[in-house]
Amino acid sequence: MRFIDLLPAVERAHTATRLVIQGTGCQLGASLLTLDLGRQGLQAEYVRGSYSRLPSQEHWWVETEGLLLDPTRDQFSEDPFAEHYAGAYERVDAKPASKMEYEATMHLRLHWSSNRCARNAIEQVATQYRLNLPQIMEPPGLFMPAPATPDGT
């Protein structure tokens, strides 16, 4: 798989994230991108770590097929659609694509409860990524545990 082949998914995740969150949103963007790639049958991981442009701040990105994809690299004044980047990524841990429907839902749910102005955008993103809108709309006190995947993780 080449970077250029994955670019449409990166662009979708970037656009969806910017509808909901203007300047940051790496957790949401990376979870949506990992979900999208996993649904396409790729082995994708949602990675937590740091980026050298701001090493004291946690950051999330996606790794798949030997490539690093960061749909919110623009928060560091860099092009999220470029294969090459100026800084260095340091990985701490990762989650598989099989966990991303829950992850993306919970990020959207958090924004649903805290940013009323973004609700129309959240509805669009939930529809685009086939996420459970009624679950996103639930009050914050009712967070459900992540469902087990077929492999038990």
End-to-end CA gap in the chain: 27
* β partners of residue 47: 61, 94
pLDDT at position 10, please? Answer: 98
Q: Tokens 């006190």 appear where?
A: 141
Cα gap 151→10, rounded to integer Å: 27
Q: What is the pLDDT of residue 95?
A: 98
Q: Which stretches of the chain score pLDDT less than 50?
A: none
pLDDT attached to residue 150: 58
The domains of the chain are located at 3-99, 100-142
Contact 44, 104 (CB under 8 A): no
55 CB-near residues (< 8 Å, 6+ apart)? 90
Q: What is the pLDDT of residue 53?
A: 82
Give the pLDDT score at 56: 87
Residue 139 has a pLDDT of 82
In this prediction the pTM is 0.90
The tokens for 75 are 């928060």
